[in-house]
A = this chain, B = another copy of it.
Amino acid sequence: MRATFMYGAGDVRVDEVPDPTIVEPTDAVVRVTLACVCGSDLHPYHSMPASEEGVPMGHEFLGVVEQVGDAVTDLAPGDLVVSPFAFSDNTCPFCREGFHTACRHGGWYGAGGVGGAQAEKIRVPQASGTLVRLPADVDEKLLPSLLTLADVYLTGYHAAFMAKVSPGQTVTVIGDGAVGLSAVLAAQRMGASTIILMGRHQDRTDLGRKWGATDVVAERGEEGIAKVLELTGGEGSHAVLEAVGHMPAYEQAYRIVRPGGVVSRVGVPQYEDAPVGFGSLFGKNATLNGGPAPVRAYLEDAIAQVLAGELDPGAVFDAEVSLDDVAEGYRLMDSRERIKVLVRP
């Protein structure tokens, strides 16, 4: 089959590799019908050292079950399924508490002998705990929105969920990528009355406004901070949803969060140490949280909302490529020409 590998910064290739097979009795093999490129794929696209061994890419997909291991009794070949971007058993203590990305038997696609989703097929470990079935007769037009539930929308949702966004609150979203825009949509659905979107790509912030952003701040750094404080009467935001992952975004976040407010991060931090002392978080009782979204915890509810026509985050996809053209998909997102790119194998 064909599958996508990254061999270094900017070097994305589609290779011919053997089809995946059942390795553990808890596995399934899924034929990918729709995948996409993630903002987090752009981190190695910028910085990965050149390597002879490619890294399998892609962790968001819908597909059809082709094969299941002996221990998988609740899925059958032919089932249309969506997968969270991380696999999990859905039964360990951490899964039961809603933190599936810390599952004791869980892991990540594209690592540890598990392939990536920008491919014709993929092996899914812990298939019973991971995969969620979609109706066989689902309207094709809903598939992009359903695919956002694998990662991007529910990652934005996780930011808002962890920040406990509630009606009447002021929320600032840092980052106008697909996750930031999803966080705007989630905050709007949770009843935030003011949603400030910090971003400077107009095609993106226009979608943000459509999804509920009441204000857009294009300025960064001190100017951006001053603008948000001005918009909040000098008080700051109840919630700051940080969807970038770089230190300047973190610094903006703790500067604009209100006393007692929450900085909720879903951009994977490209730093380890950061200010957390009296002058940043402690003095104003700010909360810092967030992490890899436990998409599995939110997946069934979100599927029901999409199927009911209440939730439609599929508009983050503004381009589509075939698997053979996946490198062009990376380029379009990296250059900011497109927000998020569908990959159809």
Contact = CB atoms under 8 A, between A and B. Distances in A.
Interface in A287-312: 287-292, 294
A278 B271 CA distance: 8
A286 B291 contact: yes
A285 B291 contact: yes
B290 A282 contact: yes
Interface string A41-75: 00000000000000000000000000000000000
Contacts of A188: none
Interface residues of A, number: 38
Contacts of A282: 265, 268-269, 290-292
A98 B260 contact: yes
Interface string A268-284: 11011111111111111
Interface of A: 93-94, 97-99, 101-102, 162, 235, 258-260, 265, 268-269, 271-292, 294
16 contacts: A94-B260, A101-B285, A102-B259, A102-B260, A268-B282, A269-B276, A272-B275, A272-B278, A272-B279, A274-B274, A282-B291, A284-B291, A285-B290, A285-B294, A286-B291, A288-B289
